[in-house]
Amino acid sequence: MQAFALLLKSSPVIPVLTIERVEDAPPLAVALNEGGLSVVEVTLRTPAALDAITAMKRAVPGLIVGAGTILKPSDLDAAMSAGSDFIVTPATTAALVAPLKACGVPVIPGVATPSEVLERLDDGFEVLKLFPAEQYGGAATIAALAAPLPQARFCPTGGIGRDKVASYLALKNVVGVGGSWIATNKQIADGDWAGITENARAAAGFAKPGL
Ligand SMILES: O=C[C@H](O)COP(=O)(O)O
Ligand SMILES: CC(=O)C(=O)O
């Protein structure tokens, strides 16, 4: 997790991708990488997602490709078999905790309440995802959590458009943010690789203040 946290320091904005057609995965990987991004998340929300993870890694060796929307242990097994470099969950059930801890790659478990934050810290997770971030109070909520739970680090996702990224990254307890704005479902469907590269360049231009 430490190496991953270090990677996020240099590139703290993660595109959250939903890929309908596996043939879109290679040009999408190239477009994002050309824009300067080296960490991406593919949600397991489509039948193509697992093959897309493998295809992106093949298309751009060195690209760090994580799997999101891991809801149950079998999703995790499938994501690991596809070669996922990290794992993200929108929420974290008791059944998922042990398999997540044992999976061998960095995990960002989803949380939405202070109790869940504390539970995941007690489980040993270091970086948590507030999801859906904007709907649960956004940057103000994460700032407030720092008072009783300063050891928690967040990589929030959900409603964080380009205009909101800086306000999250300004917080001490935020190490990164995820968002779909970098490669929207429409852009992927339209094959708008140039537009995606442009958005990726904007995303890659964000840095943690003070670094
Ligand atoms: O479920 C939503 C995604 O994880 C993030 O998408 P969003 O940036 O459009 O909210
Ligand atoms: C929202 C997200 O990142 C996930 O579905 O895991």
* Predicted local confidence at residue 211, as pLDDT: 55
pLDDT tens digits along 153-164: 999 999 999 999
Ligand 2 pocket, residues with Cβ under 6 angstroms: 16, 41, 43, 68-69, 88-90, 131, 157, 178
- Which ligand has an atom closest to residue 159 CA? 1
* Predicted local confidence at residue 5, as pLDDT: 77
Is 164 noted as a catalytic residue in this protein? Answer: no
* Predicted local confidence at residue 163, as pLDDT: 98
* Predicted local confidence at residue 7, as pLDDT: 77
User: Ligand 2 centre and the CA of 107: distance in Å?
Assistant: 12
* Predicted local confidence at residue 194, as pLDDT: 98
- Which ligand has an atom closest to residue 160 CA? 1
Is 129 noted as a catalytic residue in this protein? Answer: yes
Could you state, in chain order, the average pLDDT of each consecutive group of 10 residues for the chain (211 residues)?
76 96 98 97 98 98 97 98 97 97 97 98 96 98 97 97 98 97 98 98 90 55
* Predicted local confidence at residue 208, as pLDDT: 82
User: Ligand 1 centre and the CA of 91: distance in Å?
Assistant: 14
* Predicted local confidence at residue 210, as pLDDT: 67
DSSP per-residue letters across the chain: -HHHHHHHHHS-EEEEE--S-GGGHHHHHHHHHHTT--EEEEES-STTHHHHHHHHHHHSTT-EEEEE---SHHHHHHHHHTT-SEEE-SS--HHHHHHHHHSSS-EE-EE-SHHHHHHHHHHT--EEEETTTTTTTHHHHHHHHTTT-TT-EE--BSS--GGGHHHHHTSTTB--EEESTTS-HHHHHHT-HHHHHHHHHHHHT---TT-
* Predicted local confidence at residue 124, as pLDDT: 96
Closest C-alpha residue for ligand 1 atom 9: 180
* Predicted local confidence at residue 177, as pLDDT: 98
pLDDT tens digits along 128-142: 999 999 999 999 999
Which residue segments constitute the domains of the chain, with CATH numbers given? 2-202 (3.20.20.70)
Q: Which of 57, 129, 134, 164 is catalytic?
A: 129
Please, are residues 154 and 129 in contact by the beta-carbon 8 Å criterion?
yes
